[in-house]
Structure 1
Amino acid sequence: MSTLTLTPRPRVADRLAALPVAIIGAGPVGLAAAAHLADRGIAFTVLEAASGPAAAVDKWGHTRLFSAWREVVDPVARRLLEAAGWTMPAEGRAPTGRELVDSYLRPLAELPEIAVHTRYGARVSGIAREGMDRTHSTGRENTPFLVRTPKGELLSRAVLDASGTYDSPNPLLSTGLPTIDDPRISHALPDVLGSERERFAGRHTIVVGAGHSAANTLISLVRLQRDAPGTRITWLIRNPSAVRVSSSAADELVGRAQLGARVDRYVESGAVEKIDSFEIDRVEALPAGIRLSGTRRDEPAAITADVVVNATGFRPDLAPLREIRTDLDAVVEAPRLLAPLIDPNVHSCGTVEPHGFRELTHPEHGFFVVGMKSYGRAPTFLLATGYEQVRSIAAWLAGDLASATRVELTLPTTGVCSTDAGGCC
């Protein structure tokens, strides 16, 4: 007769302690989280959908940030890199997205203490508790997370979702509902002066949006206009004014103020036609181009162009979190305790208070959304804020409550800002 042998299960605390922390996304904030956990000796696994680090930043790599190097490098990541022989670029200069990737993020991802724990091509399709859906409560807090990817499932003690928002742009329609998919509708921040030049040269482009990705695209189009006769530029915004790209002499991020000032000059000179107060109700693909219809100051309005650039901002992809107990604000889709601090109707990135694990806590113990995704639909994110988030959470995971609750960040003050590039400023 065979004998059934039962293997004793490890104690709950021991089992969780033996599992890594799952970090979703190898962008700037995800890699900073990895650096902080590595520095504290906490096991982790980075799950990245793309084939390499910082894929979203690389997509807008031709665009220059309006923050200098000293504001976009995480302090702990810098220390780990310098210990490996890395040299910080000129601290006062603002890098392009591609420079950020090539000179900082890729070297960070290639550090042995991070690279060995990173899985590429591992897009996360869902997160749950092992053996539980979101309705199951008994023993939930002491049950490992199960993170599903095409390369298999990972059990983890905690999850930091740093997957960003770049792949989830807001639709063109004022209702926020999806509209048509057409190759003549461009994602935000196209490479107007580089790989996509022929798409825009000598054509009429409408740029829709009131943030800094719209401003960067408008500036590039004006430069193209000087070399390519017939290039016409229309800037379409929903509100009476584009507050987030207006220049401000008091703005401590000088590059940001200069960006707004340049756009103001182009509008005044007639290089850019600005149409405000336009509510888009319908998007049509016609042989002559893309037609945007709606209302302007309560009157019917319509405009057609060869190309439309959708620079209306981004929103978080919440589908993988269906079985996780989240507590999100009903308006901006950020963690409920964080939402009042980042409300774009009240705050710019310089007036958002530094925050950490407390403001990012959800009912799901050990689960955090960090980085740009933590801001939901609010466009007020700074990379330095994301670095402070993961510093605090790493301290909390290490049981260092004093460090977790201490503020270790001073942000630039005043001005308005937006990182609707989906990454950083």
Structure 2
Amino acid sequence: MTNLLRRWNQLSLVKRIIIGLIVGIILAIIVPNVAKPIGIFGSLFVGALKAVAPILVFFLVMSAISQHKSGQKTNMKSIIVLYLLGTFLAGLVAVVASFIFPVTLTLGAGAENVSPPGGVVEVLKALLLNIVSNPITALSNANYIGILAWALLLGLALKKAPEATKTMISNFSDALSQIVRWVINFAPIGIMGLVADTIATNGIESLVDYGQLLLLLVGCMFFMALVVNPIITFINIRQNPYPLVLKCLKDSGITAFFTRSSAANIPVNMNLCEKLGLDKDTYSVSIPLGATVNMAGAAITISVLTLAAVNTLGIKVDIGTALILSLLSAVSACGASGVAGGSLLLIPLACSLFGIPNDVAMQVVGVGFVVGVIQDSCETALNSSTDVLLTAVSEFRQWRKEGKKIVIPRK
């Protein structure tokens, strides 16, 4: 048994996750009655990630800001610009793809008498209210915009605090990162439970029914990851972008695909940034920030599902409204939670632009949860891997200007 455990631990996390995935599928197909109770492991895994992620972001950002020395160079401005640009382009890609490959949904009652007025004030209002949310409420509700705001303020307020206080906060941050690593080590068991329960309950045919929608969602995310992101990377670093892009997808995206939480993937991303030789003062802020506001995958999900509802209801969309939707998707995506399924709850905000009633919009959200097994995993993989990619791109751009050689480690 000891030798078996040692061999198991010697396997990479990705290999262990694949084994858990295969075991879950086999159990769901062969013994579905046994597979459903095993789903508790999946619930425990997701619950543990949801529990630790908000407080992890809070202490990581607060620690990084409080320990930042005045005069130290960081690339935060360019990173934020890249985050916002990437999220907007993702929404635009989704809108264009939805026009080229329109899909429709099967919706129930409540879809009649739809008349489009619309506005985006509600989105901005919600974001502002989230910023000033009570910190305890923000932590308990996983309101990452509020958590980020309070972490930034407390970090700034603690910049002149004694070193012992800063060290204590840093120790809390390190301890929480270690807890997340422990939880992620249980990913193979958790994923086995999630897959077994999902397939045993809904059947694989539940995904086949929405095959066209899934193809559009995943296709947009792949296009963003393998075409748009490499273009952004090449423009900034002026060399072959794919070694860096594929490195981020392999080391960050695969783990995020299975954990389905950008916030929980923060320690993995920070470890990757360290391997890439990036400045800790920069990535210790940009990675938690990215898990909150860099949401290219969320922008794609919001745009595709909203336009699927629009097509289903026969609403005509002009180019101007489509561009507004791209911007609205980007703004809405910035308010998406860094946990599984966060973007789906923002679909009603985008649907309101076309006057789609809330009861119909919530039916669209329901469709999102059906395809969420694949959609949310791909979305998180894109979001989380892009956090590292754009952080690296910003710093490598500075290296290029200074004449430094950019080397992407293979391992």
TM-score over 0.5 for the pair: no
Decide which structure has greater strand share: 1
Decide which structure has greater helix share: 2
| Greater relative contact order structure (CA < 8 Å, 6+ sep) | 2
Give TM-score scaled by structure 1 length. Answer: 0.26
